[in-house]
């Protein structure tokens, strides 16, 4: 295990990431996804645009654009986990200097890496935080890109509830993630194999609607669009204008 993975537990030097109340790295991340998110080598390798695009079978740009289509420049947006590639910089650029992007991530190495990428964007800030236990704050929109499939179902529920609670009246939570593909989709077998080997919490999005993870979905209007033969989905939950949250 690298020093980076332990920074929250034992780093004795003063460390701006190690504020009182900083979240611990959850077991699911340490046990299942350390190889992808907690080692400096993977951060360097997986952050390449070509890798991001390949993992999504060439659909990255289309899915990013589908998400941006739900937002407006000048909005205050929460991104509840870092994403590899140019996702955060594209979002910050789209929101513009009058907008605000707040990125949180539970892993200090991801926070540091994303801060470096967003250094030229004064409208963006990156901090440690747990998407499943947000501490206050409301936003015009939430931009949740491929986070849910990496969370165990219990944490999916906590995260969906916490993210919905952070949406202002009239605002939106936008979830882009995996979805059950068409039965004859040529990539269904290989995706199922990857889920079985590397992504044990992902297949739950093949069986459950994202809305079903919300404990009080009624305060929102829900819509869903699917992409690439159903392999991906965008779900938008818009809080009703009169709802006080």
- For the bound state, the minimum distance from the C-beta of residue 244 to ligand SAM, rounded and expressed in Å, comes to 26
DSSP for 143-176, written as a single string: EEES-GGGS-HHHHHHHHHHHHHTEEEEEEEEEE
Which x/- pattern, by CB under 6 A, does the window 130-169 give for ligand SAM? xxx------------xxx--x-------------------
> What gap in Å lies between CA 38 and CA 35, rounded to an integer?
6
235 binds ligand SAM (CB under 6 A): no
Answer for the pair 121, 93: CB distance below 8 angstroms, yes or no.
Answer: yes
Location of structure tokens 């919905």:
164
Shortest Å, Cβ 183 to ligand SAM? 25
CA 98/CA 30 separation, integer angstroms: 37
Q: Which is nearer to ligand SAM, 121 or 201 (CB)?
A: 201
Minimum Å gap between C-beta 34 and ligand SAM is: 10
Using Cβ positions, the residue closest to ligand SAM within the complex turns out to be 81
**String of contacts with ligand SAM for each residue 69-88, x by CB under 6 A:** -----------xxxxx----
CA distance 98 to 75: 8
CA distance to 1, 142, 220, per residue, from 172 (Å):
38, 6, 9
Q: Which residues bind ligand SAM (CB under 6 A)?
A: 29, 37, 52, 80-84, 104-107, 110, 130-132, 145-147, 150
């Amino acid at each position: 295990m690298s020093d980076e993975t332990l920074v929250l537990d034992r780093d004795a030097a003063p460390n701006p990431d190690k504020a009182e109340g900083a979240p611990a790295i959850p077991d699911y991340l340490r046990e299942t996804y350390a190889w992808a998110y907690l080692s400096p080598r993977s951060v360097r390798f997986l952050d390449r645009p070509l890798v991001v695009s390949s993992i999504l079978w060439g659909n990255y740009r289309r899915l990013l654009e589908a998400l941006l289509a739900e937002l407006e420049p000048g909005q205050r947006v929460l991104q509840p986990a870092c994403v590899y590639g140019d996702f955060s910089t594209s979002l910050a650029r789209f929101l513009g200097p009058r907008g605000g992007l707040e990125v949180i991530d539970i892993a200090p190495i991801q926070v540091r890496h994303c801060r470096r990428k967003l250094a030229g964007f004064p409208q963006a800030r990156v901090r440690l935080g747990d998407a499943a236990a947000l501490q206050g704050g409301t936003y015009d929109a939430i931009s949740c890109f491929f986070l849910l499939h990496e969370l165990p179902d219990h944490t999916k529920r906590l995260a969906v509830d916490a993210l919905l609670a952070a949406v202002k009246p009239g605002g939106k939570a936008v979830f882009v993630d995996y979805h059950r593909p068409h039965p004859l989709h040529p990539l269904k077998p290989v995706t199922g194999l990857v889920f079985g080997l590397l992504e044990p919490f992902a297949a739950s999005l093949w069986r459950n609607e994202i809305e079903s993870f919300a404990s009080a979905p009624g305060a929102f209007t829900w819509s869903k669009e699917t992409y690439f033969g159903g392999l991906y989905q965008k779900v938008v939950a818009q809080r009703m204008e009169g709802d006080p949250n």
